[in-house]
Structure 1
Amino acid sequence: MDAQLPNIKKWIVMYPVYINSKKTMAEGRRIAVAKACENPTCAEIGDCCSYLKLPFAIEIDKAYPRDFMQRGRVRVLLKTEDGTLINPSISSRKQLMLRVAEMVPRHHGRTKKQETASTSTTGPSQKSGKGGKKRR
């Protein structure tokens, strides 16, 4: 197995926090909120990498240093040993993050969850923001 894949330590690391729209830049997000997705998991990121035909490895025993309660990270191989890109449309870490963040909301595991959630919740209340007691 080790002969066909290069040293995994050289692969780029991608923590789910990097593309999480719920996190701030200080908490570790690396892309714009508008482009980020809500609470991605390592499995979803891995599925997106396999769809993009990029070799990946999920490391469950690792944690993000700024938030050590967040377990797991994904290692992805962008270039081969001789420097040729595996997927020509993705040439950098940033491009990978943007593509994965774009794909995660359409992940097959998420679409099923959202269909059941959207039927039970109601829209926002019609009450105005200015509350308080009315005086006579």
Structure 2
Amino acid sequence: MRYITHVSRNKQTRLAEGRKIPASKACQNPTAFEIGDCCNHLKIPHAIEKDKAYSRDLMQVGRVRVMLKRSDGSLHNPLIASKKQLMLRIAELVPKHAGRIKKPEAATSSSNAAPLKSGKAGRKKR
């Protein structure tokens, strides 16, 4: 089992602060749940530990435990042989995560609606 924390792929952190992949390939502020969903997509067994935190950044909780190899030594996903390859693939998938993609709002009903008046418009000050 290997651990993956959000800091390893955060674009805003420096190498000295714990980033493991190049900033050009890193994503911005990934969460443990997004990382877990990416592991599901890649068909890699994982476990999200909600109560754990990175020692240098205690405000961001959660880490993901992944199993890259089976007990016989074969890989779960033949395209991912190391933790670094997994982090690079996760960094590609997190920006496409369903929670990050903003849905277009229906502007037809809100743009045609008349503005509402506040209740205090006609009152006098005492």
Q: TM-score range by the shorter chain?
A: 0.7 to 0.9
In the alignment, which residue of structure 2 is the partner of 1:45?
35
Q: How does 1:46-65 map to 2 (within 5 A)?
A: 46-65=36-55
State the identity %: 59
For the pair 1:101 / 2:91, whether they are aligned, the reply is yes
Using the size of structure 2 for normalisation, the TM-score is: 0.80
Structure 1 stretches of at least 4 aligned residues deviating more than 3 Å after TM superposition = none
In the alignment, which residue of structure 2 is the partner of 1:22?
12
Which 5+ residue runs of structure 1 have no aligned equivalent?
A: 1-10, 117-136
Match of 1:84 among 49, 66, 74: 74
Q: Distance in 1 between matches of 2:12 and 2:70?
A: 33
Using the size of structure 1 for normalisation, the TM-score is: 0.74
SS in 1 for 2:47: strand
Larger Rg: 2
Q: Distance in 2 between matches of 1:31 and 1:78?
A: 18
Which 5+ residue runs of structure 2 have no aligned equivalent?
A: 106-126
In the alignment, which residue of structure 2 is the partner of 1:127?
none
